[in-house]
Structure 1
């Protein structure tokens, strides 16, 4: 940049130029290719019958054994889970994947739980902001039940987290959807709640999950927020017995659909202000306890579940942006009590090159890719994070309330 911008961090001013962005893309791409090689080997070693499906296997076999173990995707590549993956080349890391656990209502899923139901989803923590998310693919018709069961049932806790009651206290209360259900005439996300207020659907478990009971899903209310390009819905889940009799208490969550982020692209420059408003709405919605009166000791800011179609490109860019906004207090911190965010485990690939050590966008993206493959998938999504963060500081300086 030719001149200093008041209020904008020095690293961001230095970073926003073509030469630096090119270096970021080169370094991030090189590291993700190393992860891809390790994933390919783990897939081959876990399920050798897939040998003919793995391209460039010969070069991949040279991957470091430590890397192969760290970036294993054996659960996602298991043949029995193939139909549960929306895209065959987007599979969750074993060490951070979310397991939907079986059991009675007082059962808590341990961190080592592997006997539960498979979902193409990973626990992801913001590097700079410190908040936990569940990054997941959009539901398929036969995975919608497992998707909603993240809210209703116990799930494996985040790795290294002190979260201990994801069925009640720390339950997911907000789902963010960054894709339209249909884009370019193609189905990008299966619809799992009705379009009309007061209407209910019954979501059945997949055939191989017959022991699980149906879920009644009701759209309680919905509204369009034009200033943030989103639709906000309140949805009620009612567990049913196999005889379709209500069991237990209904559970409410809020669904936020952002409508201005095209697949294989980024929000247009004129939509960036709306995107910043949307980040604030997501944060405020997740902290809203008005729908949960009478329920004691709820987490004031529990994990958020977020998806686009594959759960990596738009999903990763949105989490990265929220993390940096949170770091600079343009969004609220994870909890009012938390004063220090513990470090995430170091990458077996080592640190980013020295010239990128102070670039918080590059660091954030690399950290997200450690936790779920391919996060922030496209080069233009990387650039959008820089540009939207700059827009947030400019908006703050102009007295428009930040994000």
Structure 2
């Protein structure tokens, strides 16, 4: 018989009842060091007191009114995002998938608004993950994502990851947009070089093409900058944000320049829950903490410490690991085989990690993980690796 919860996930045999910072506590009381953070979501750890206070205060005031009315908490968070980014305007969603759908709609509506509705082709890259809606899977285009779901939304062309020459060969003044992740998450923690990202921006400028960045996983301080594209010194026209922006509360957003958003007038998009007072109250507190320069400097310092210790782990287990890659606290251990066994071995050592494509183990801890917890994490990964070596 089918389970009461639709069986679309291969779930681990673990259930958690509470959390404390970098630790998740299972229903049997076992404490697990959490290097997944809900897949880069819990940027300030579990049960962060600042976020609990923000949510509790808002919960005692008002939860939901819908976007029929002005929402002060939404306006506060939008102001914070505009102040700290390239954007002129923000639309709030509940998830990264919803942000991807709006980003695609915004591109198409932009060109329709410009009087060129046939300019719809969006260039994307293999290994990408933009969510699981019909538009998002069409953008990614991988067999795993699209098989069995019938005709796909037209207007997407996938290119080899990081192949600038392939992009040069196809981008024209008829291309609607280029859509990419500065660092692929599900694709295996694969960063795009800063020089390549600058070249893509230049190609978009030359052809009048919109640049859309998906920073759902690599944004919100994860890389040591508020957003990963800042390292390249460029700005997108449209950007998708989610995961870390709510610190664990469901929240996403699309950020855009005034020009890119010109076609999105009243009635062109909407959301019942998007930007609700609860989510935005939490999101504003996350922004106040994570966007601080001192906080981001600490992320970078901890990332250097973590990376140094991981290099030692790789040297100790050359049969299992090839390299460490990524930026900030968005790190990947490139393995010599699929990392599923290592993830399971980690459960025995009471540590949580996240597998990804390209034989990569993702390490996405809370951004406020302590030095001592970093050392403990590597020690537990070492024991998990020893069990596989044996």
TM-score by length of 1: 0.32
Q: Which has the higher contact order (CA 8 A, sep 6+)?
A: 2
TM-score (norm 2): 0.33
User: If each structure's strand is expressed as a fraction of its own residues, which one has the higher value?
Assistant: 2
